Amino acid sequence: MALAERILAGRLRAEANIVKSLDAENRGDFPLALEYLHQAGSLAAPRHYANLFARLDRLDEAIEAAQAAVVAAPRSGAAYCQLAFLLREAGRLAEARDRFQRAIGVSPNLAEAYFGLGQLLLLQGEYQPGWEGYEWRYRIPMAKGKLHDIKRPQWNGMRWPEGRLFVLADQGFGDVIQFARYLPLAAERVGTLVFGTTPPLRRLLEQIGGPVLTIERMSDLPEVDVQTTLSGLLRLFTTSETTIPPAPYLSAPEDAAARWRHRLAELAPAGSLKVGVCWAGRPSHPNDSKRSMEAADLAPLAAIPNIFWFSLQKGDRAAEAADFTFPLLDLTHDLTDFAETAALVANLDLVISVDTSIIHLAGALGVPGWLLLPNIPDWRWLLDREDSPWYPSVRLFRQGPDRAWAPVIGRVGQRLHQTARVN
């Protein structure tokens, strides 16, 4: 075979391995994807290695590969942006901010860089510039098309006594519960507010009351004048730490709450501390590997006396409740929507959860909650504090730089032992 033919054949094999790597990555088989990338040799771009190393939780190698990608393409905003996200995950926040700013400098329309910088600013408590960056989230190509286009102007927050405003619940369950506190404020400024949400949340959010019409299907949307997203209300109301509408602001339906009160009184021994626990979030969440834990991580809590445990874990990980080393009552099959879950939570003494919708529900109801956080959390939980301006009833337990759950569970156990004894 001639030299040119051998070179071409080698290149074709390398390109095929890159395709195989991307396919394996899409299937979630990251070790295999990395092996194919190694076989691709010099044709494999550093940015591909950076992404896979990050997926494999090899953060130092991911940063090194991302830095190589920047060197190889110093005018690539995407390369700077990838590096910035990795530096943020590593807790190197000043460097991350610099790389986001460089990404914007070389690519002024790169939505991912504005959004990433916005989230970083919010994490550091810089709310006003943070909201501006946060508004770029729906300009990201992967996010385009996720909102319904009802061809109405965007509401700018102005008062319109005769106007009809449509507010769309545009993010996950926890976000919607957190941001629902803004619905009464928006309703005060317009004649009619129509709120579009999903069936699991509708009955709970109807407890807010006021002049809010709640719909589940876009086919039920009446004629409206302007629109906005629920998450967009935070910027429109110039949210800062001191202007966040206070919690609690939600309640469970009275009949459901009374039914669960009677049921728990029959189940839990008198004088015991009724504690609900949730150890995992939605698996498809981009940060789920960092925010969720294994059910076995909670085993040290089994030694604490005078506690009656309830599982609040839904979804694919709910079956792990059967593997607990201590009695854990699983009634989640009866939690048919968030209103029913709220009725159970409202009758608990404490909720212990990773960063998922359950902790938002506890905080919105004013129920004591202990939140178990990864080292670098989502923006809403800020940094280096044990309390939350969003939920006064929630206490934060954070990982250290080692990103280990055992010390977190140790601190939770100490506090829980004191709480159960006092109770």
pLDDT, tens digit, for every residue of 386-409? Answer: 999 999 999 999 999 999 999 999
Mean residue pLDDT of the chain comes to 90
Q: What pLDDT is attached to residue 320? A: 86
Q: Under a CB-based contact definition with an 8 Å cutoff, are residues 359 and 368 in contact?
A: no
Q: What pLDDT is attached to residue 423? A: 58
In degrees and rounded to multiples of 5, residue 212 shows phi and psi of -120, 120
In degrees and rounded to multiples of 5, residue 165 shows phi and psi of -110, 135
Is 60 exceeded by the pLDDT of residue 3? no
How far apart are alpha carbons 385 and 397 in whole angstroms?
Answer: 9
Q: Compute the CA torsion angle 147, 150, 153, 159 (nearest 10 deg).
A: -90
Q: Report residue 218 as tokens.
A: 């876009």
CA-based torsion, 182, 146, 174, 210: positive or negative: positive
Q: Report residue 341 as tokens.
A: 């879950």
How far apart are alpha carbons 387 and 403 in whole angstroms?
Answer: 20
Q: What pLDDT is attached to residue 396? A: 98
Cα dist. 48→28, 69, 302 in Å?
A: 14, 9, 43
Q: Where residue 8 falls among pLDDT bands split at 50, 70, 90?
A: very low
How far apart are alpha carbons 348 and 308 in whole angstroms?
Answer: 10
Q: What pLDDT is attached to residue 9? A: 44
Is 70 exceeded by the pLDDT of residue 290? yes
| Three-state secondary-structure class, residue 56 | coil
Percentages of the chain per state (helix, strand, coil), in multiples of 5: 55, 15, 35
Nearest to residue 205, comparing CAs of 186, 229, 179? 179
CATH code for the part of the protein at 254-422: 3.40.50.2000
CATH code for the part of the protein at 11-139: 1.25.40.10
Which residues are within 8 A (CB) of 112 and not within 5 positions of it... i.e. 6 or more apart? 78, 81, 103, 140
Q: Where residue 6 falls among pLDDT bands split at 50, 70, 90?
A: very low
Q: Under a CB-based contact definition with an 8 Å cutoff, are residues 114 and 136 in contact?
A: yes
Return the minimum-mean-pLDDT range out of 118-122, 251-255, 262-266, 312-316: 312-316
User: Could you identify the residue written with the tokens 């979030």?
Assistant: 281
Is 60 exceeded by the pLDDT of residue 262? yes
Is 70 exceeded by the pLDDT of residue 5? no
CATH 3.40.50.2000: which residues of the chain?
254-422
Q: What pLDDT is attached to residue 76? A: 95
Tell me the residue type at 347. Answer: N
Nearest to residue 406, comparing CAs of 418, 393, 397, 395? 397
How far apart are alpha carbons 254 and 233 in whole angstroms?
Answer: 29
Q: Where residue 41 falls among pLDDT bands split at 50, 70, 90?
A: low
User: Could you identify the residue written with the tokens 């059967």?
Assistant: 322
| Three-state secondary-structure class, residue 166 | strand
Which residues are within 8 A (CB) of 280 and not within 5 positions of it... i.e. 6 or more apart? 288, 292, 293, 295, 313, 315, 317, 320, 354, 356
Q: Mutual orientation of helices 59-72 and 46-55 as an angle, nearest 10°?
A: 160
What average pLDDT does range 328-343 have in this prediction?
95
